[in-house]
Amino acid sequence: MPRGQKSKVRAREKRRQTRKEPEDLVSDQATIGEKDDYAYSSSAHFKGIPHGSLAETLGNPQDPGRTPSTTITTAAVSFTKSVESINNKVKEGARSTEGPMATENFPRGHLDEKVVMLVHYLLYKYQMKEPITKAEILKNVIQIHKNHFPEILKRVSEHLELVFGLDLKEVDPNRHIYVLINKLEPSSDARLSDDRNVPKTGLLMTILAVIFTKGNCASEQQVWEMLNMMGLYDGKEHFIFGDPKKLITKDLVKEKYLEYRQVANSDPPCYEFLWGPRAHAETSKMKVLEFLAKIHDSVPTAFPSCYEEALRDEEERAQAKAAAKFRISALANARSKATSGSFSHP
C-alpha cells in the first residue's frame, strides 16, 4: 500500500478510536450488563453520579372501565415498551455523539431521555440521603434545556410514584428544594429501602392492588402473571429486586407486608397472597385504590365496587381510631383521679 494511503488509513483509525472513547467511558463507569434492561448515555450527562438501571413496571393508563388487575398488566407492558424505546435512542446517541448534546432543538426522544436520566439522578440522591435542588437538576441533568423543566419534572414525578412508590415534594418553594417521600408510613422506609437499593414500595403497592382487586385474596398464579409482565420471573435474578420469588414469598412475608399461605385442600398444593398486618397498618385500601387510579389517569370512583369497599374500610379505620383515642383519654382521666385521690388521703 502506498505510503500516503497508509497515512490516511492510520488517520481514519485514530479518528475512529477517538470517537469510541465516550462509549468506552460509558462501559467502564455504568453498571450495565446482560442482566440490565435499561442503559444510560454518556457520563457527560451526570457530573460524578454513578450510572445504573431502572425497573420495568407500571406505565400509561388504560380504559378505566376494564378490570383493574388486567389493566395493571397492560400498563406494565406499555411502560416497558416505552422505556425500551428510550434506551435504544440513548444507546444510539452514545455511539454517534461526542460529549453532551448541544443541539438547540429538543425532539420528543431527547425529552424522554432526560426524563429517564432525572429519575435515575433523583434515585441516587434518595439513596445517598442528599438534598435535591432545582439548581443541581438544571446543572447536572437538564442543562441547556431548562425551558422544559416543568414538563420533565411532572413526568419524572409520575414515574417515581408509579414505579418506586415515591412522592416528589417541594419543601422549600423559595429555594426550590425537593424531597422524595415513601408512600408507606415512615416506619416502613427503612425496611423497604436502604442506602444501596432503590425502594421496593412501588412493587409492593402493585401487588397489594392485585390482591385488593381480586377480592382481597390473589392466587400465586395471578400475582406471577402480573410480575412477569413487569419483567420479574420465578427463578431469574432481577437487577433491581434480586430473587423475585424470595422477595414476595419470604422477605415481604417476614416483614409482614404480605401473607403467603397454602390454599386449603389443594392437591397439588396451591398458594395465595393476602395483605399482611403491616400492610393494613401502614397503608389502606383507599390509598392503594388511589395508586391504581393514578395508573389509569382516573379517580377512585371509576372503580365502583372497589371504591365502596375502600370507603367502608376508611369508616372502620376512623371508628377504630376514635375508639382507641377514647380509651387512651379514659385511661388518662382514671390515672389523674387516682393520683389526686392519693394526695387528698395521706
Q: What is the CATH number of the domain that holds 109?
A: 1.10.10.1200
Of 21-30, 141-150, 152-161, 269-278, which one has max mean pLDDT? 269-278
Domain of 156 in residue numbering reads as 20-182
Residue 75 belongs to some domain of the structure: yes
Q: Omega of the bond prior to 186 within 30 degrees of 0, cis? A: no
pLDDT at 200: 82
* Residue 50 belongs to some domain of the structure: yes
Residue 190 reports pLDDT greater than 60 = no
Q: What is the mean pLDDT of residues 197-213?
A: 85
pLDDT above 80 (res 313)? yes
Average pLDDT for the chain: 71
Q: What percent of the chain has pLDDT over 90?
A: 28
Predicted local distance difference test score (pLDDT) of residue 217: 96
CB contact set of 175 (below 8 Å; sequence gap of 6+): 133
pLDDT confidence bin for 344, thresholds 50/70/90: low
Cα–Cα dist 338/36, whole Å:
65
**Angle 285-295/201-213 helices, nearest 10 degrees?**
100
Q: Of 174, 165, 162, 149, nearest to 57 (Cα)? A: 162
Q: pLDDT tens for residues 80-138?
A: 444 455 455 444 544 443 333 333 334 456 778 888 888 888 888 888 888 899 999 99
Residue 12 confidence (pLDDT): 52
Q: How far apart, in whole angstroms, are the C-alpha atoms of residue 132 and residue 68?
A: 34
- HSE-up of 30 (CA within 13 Å, CB side)? 28
Determine, yes or no, domain membership for 105: yes
In a domain, 147, yes or no: yes
pLDDT above 50 for 295: yes
Straight-line distance from the first to the last Cα atom of the chain, in angstroms, rounded to the nearest whole number? 116
Give the pLDDT band of residue 7 (cuts 50, 70, 90). Answer: low
Residues 6+ apart with CB under 8 A from 97: 22, 42
- Per-residue model confidence (pLDDT) at position 6: 52
Report the pLDDT value the prediction gives residue 5, as an integer from 0 to 100.
56
Cβ pair 69, 223 in contact under 8 A: no
**Which residues have C-beta within 8 Å of that of residue 283, sequence separation ≥ 6?**
183, 184, 185, 205, 208
pLDDT above 70: percentage of residues in the chain: 61
* Residue 25 predicted with pLDDT over 60: no
CB 286 within 8 A of CB 265: no
Rounded Cα gap, residues 311 and 40, in angstroms: 43
Long-range contacts of 248-255 (CB under 8 A, 24+ apart): 248/207, 248/223, 248/273, 252/204, 252/207, 252/276, 255/191, 255/192
Tell me how far apart the alpha carbons of residues 51 and 41 are, in angstroms, rounded to a whole number. Answer: 9
Choose among 127, 101, 107: nearest CA to 41.
101
Q: Work out the pLDDT band at 160, boundaries 50, 70, 90.
A: confident
Query: Nearest Cα to 163, choosing from 133, 194, 201, 190?
Result: 201
pLDDT recorded at residue 316: 93
With cut-offs at 50, 70 and 90, classify the pLDDT of residue 199.
Answer: confident
In a domain, 131, yes or no: yes
188 pLDDT band (50/70/90 cuts)?
A: very low
Task: Select from 217, 223, 219, 216 the least CA-distant residue to 312.
Answer: 216
178 φ/ψ angles, rounded to the nearest 5 degrees: -120, 155
Let me know if residue 106 belongs to a domain.
yes
DSSP track, 85-140: HHHHHHHHHHHH-SSS---S---HHHHHHHHHHHHHHHHHHHHHT--EEHHHHIII
Query: What's the confidence (pLDDT) of residue 115?
Result: 85
Higher per-residue confidence, 331 vs 175: 175
For residues 274 and 113, which has the higher predicted lDDT (pLDDT)?
Answer: 274
Q: Is the pLDDT of residue 254 over 90?
A: yes
Residue 138, in any domain of the structure: yes
Is pLDDT above 90 for 251? yes
Q: Which residue has the higher pLDDT, 121 or 185?
A: 121
Looking at the structure of the chain, the number of domains it has is 1
User: 318 Cβ partners below 8 Å, 6+ apart?
Assistant: none
Specify the DSSP class assigned to residue 199: -
CB atoms within 10 A of CB 312: 11
Q: Higher-confidence residue: 212 or 3?
A: 212
pLDDT at 103: 31
* Domain assignment of residue 227, yes or no: no
